[in-house]
Amino acid sequence: MLVLDMPRDVSKAMMAKLIRFLELRGLGTKLVPHEDGFFLLLVSGSPSPKLKERLRSLSFVRRCVDASDPFPLASTSLIKGPRRIRVGDAVVVGGGVPVVMAGPCSVEGEEQIRRMARLVKEAGASVLRGGVFKPRTNPYSFQGLGLEGLRIMSEAAREEGIPIVTEVMEPSQVGVMYPYVDVFQVGTRNMYNYPLLKELGKGDKPVLLKRGMSATVDEWLQAAEYVLSEGNFNVMLCERGIRTFEARTRNTLDLNSVALIKRLSHLPVVVDPSHGTGRRDLVLPMSLAAVAAGADGLLIEVHENPSRAKSDGDQSITPSELTRLVGMVSVLSASLGRGSELALVG
C-alpha cells in the first residue's frame, strides 16, 4: 500500500485528476481526510517504481510512504504516536497516565446508575461505563434497557461531570445514540461488523474497539483501520481476553497484545480485566499487570452487590475495591514514570 500525504490546501480538482490518473492505471484509491486538515491518499495495487517516482515528485505530495503492514493508518509507518484521544471535556486517553473507566455491566435502573456514577467517580475513575444494548448469546436473556437506559445513564453522568462509554450494536443506532454518548464501544461480537465500523468512521466520537474473541492482533488492527479509513482517527483498542482452553477463567487476558500494539501502532490500548478473567479476585492483579505491560486505560465492571447483578456479577468488584485498585494502579504507574493522577476529571 502506497500512502500519499497531501496538505489541506490541495485543490479538489487536482485531487480528482490524480485519482482518475491512478484508477486508469488499474490502481485502487481511497481518500482519507485527517482531522488535522491534511489528506491521505491510499493507493493499492502494484504501482511501478517509475510511477512511484513520479508521484513522489508531485509538488502537492508532502510524503509518499510505502506501508508494509495491512493497516497503514493504524500503524506507525505513517503517523507517529502515541496518540492522545480526548474523551468528554477533561479526560485524555494515551497521555501517559492510565485512565480508569468503571461502572456496571448493565444499566439496571435510574437510581442504580446515579449512585454508581457518583461512586465510581469518588473511587477515582474518570469515565463511566454501562451497557444499555446488550448482545447476549441467548435470545431470551436480558437484552438491556435500550435507549431509555441510555438517556438516564447520560443524565446521571452529566450530573457528576463524567463522560460515558457504552456499546453500540448496529449502524442504524449510531445516529440515535450520538447525542448521549462520549465513547462508542464496539463489543467483541462486532469486531468483524464492518458496516458498523464504517458508520462509526464517518463520525468524530471516540470508538473503543474490543478485540474479537479469537481475533489475531492483525485482524483487530485491520478492524480499527475500517474506522480510520473513513476519517475518524479516535480509536482506542480494548483487549478483553481471548478464548482459550482454560476453564477456571472466562477468558484469557492477553497482555502480549498490549505490549505488541504499543510497538505496532500509535493507537492507545485499554484493558478489560473483568471480561478478561471473569473472576473478581483476579481483577486487581491483572489490572496492575496490564498497566505494567503498557496499557493506557482500564475498563472495570463495578457493582454494589455483585451477587445480585443482572449480568456478569462474578466478575464485578465493589466500589471500595475499585478505590483500592485506583490507588495501586496510581502507585505502580508513578513507579514506572508514567504519572499518577488517574482521577483527574477536569
Which residues, 177 to 216, sit near its own copies by CB under 8 A?
Answer: 189-190, 192-196, 213-214, 216
Should residue 175 be labelled a site residue for its own copies when binding is judged by CB under 8 A?
Answer: no
Should residue 336 be labelled a site residue for its own copies when binding is judged by CB under 8 A?
Answer: yes
Q: How far apart are CA 72 and CA 119, in angstroms?
A: 41
Should residue 335 be labelled a site residue for its own copies when binding is judged by CB under 8 A?
Answer: yes
Should residue 25 be labelled a site residue for its own copies when binding is judged by CB under 8 A?
Answer: no
Should residue 1 be labelled a site residue for its own copies when binding is judged by CB under 8 A?
Answer: yes
C-beta of residue 291 within 8 angstroms of C-beta of residue 332: yes
When binding is defined by CB under 8 A, the residue of 15, 19, 51, 259 that contacts its own copies is 259
Residues 233-252 within binding reach of its own copies (CB under 8 A): 241-249, 252
Residues 272-291 within binding reach of its own copies (CB under 8 A): 276-277, 279, 281-282, 285-286, 288-291
Should residue 328 be labelled a site residue for its own copies when binding is judged by CB under 8 A?
Answer: yes
Q: How far apart are CA 343 and CA 255, in angstroms?
A: 24
- Cβ-based nearer residue to its own copies, 28 or 161: 28
Which grid coordinates are listed for 143? Answer: 437484552
- Cβ-based nearer residue to its own copies, 117 or 329: 329
Rounded to 5 degrees, φ, ψ at 286 are -75, -25
Q: How far apart are CA 11 and CA 213, in angstroms?
A: 44
- 281: Cβ contacts below 8 Å, ≥ 6 apart: none
C-beta of residue 315 within 8 angstroms of C-beta of residue 280: yes
- Cβ-based nearer residue to its own copies, 80 or 248: 248
- Cβ-based nearer residue to its own copies, 36 or 246: 246
> Smallest gap, in angstroms, from Cβ of residue 121 to its own copies?
25
User: Dihedral through CA 217, CA 223, CA 225, CA 228, nearest 10?
Assistant: -130
Q: How far apart are CA 148 and CA 144, in angstroms?
A: 10
- Cβ-based nearer residue to its own copies, 164 or 242: 242
When binding is defined by CB under 8 A, the residue of 169, 174, 177, 235 that contacts its own copies is 169
- Cβ-based nearer residue to its own copies, 141 or 320: 141
When binding is defined by CB under 8 A, the residue of 27, 65, 92, 260 that contacts its own copies is 260
Should residue 170 be labelled a site residue for its own copies when binding is judged by CB under 8 A?
Answer: yes
Q: How far apart are CA 174 and CA 163, in angstroms?
A: 17
Site size with its own copies, rule: CB under 8 A: 74
- Cβ-based nearer residue to its own copies, 121 or 280: 280
> Smallest gap, in angstroms, from Cβ of residue 273 to its own copies?
9
C-beta of residue 252 within 8 angstroms of C-beta of residue 292: no
- Cβ-based nearer residue to its own copies, 211 or 303: 211
Q: Produce one character per residue of 216-246: b if its CB has 16 or more CB atoms within 10 Å, e if not.
A: ebeebbbbbbbbbbbbbbbbbbbbbbbeeee
User: What count of residues does the chain have?
Assistant: 346
Should residue 30 be labelled a site residue for its own copies when binding is judged by CB under 8 A?
Answer: yes
C-beta of residue 75 within 8 angstroms of C-beta of residue 84: no
Should residue 331 be labelled a site residue for its own copies when binding is judged by CB under 8 A?
Answer: yes
x/- site string to its own copies, residues 31 to 50, per CB under 8 A? Answer: -----------x-x------
- 226: Cβ contacts below 8 Å, ≥ 6 apart: 194, 197, 198, 201
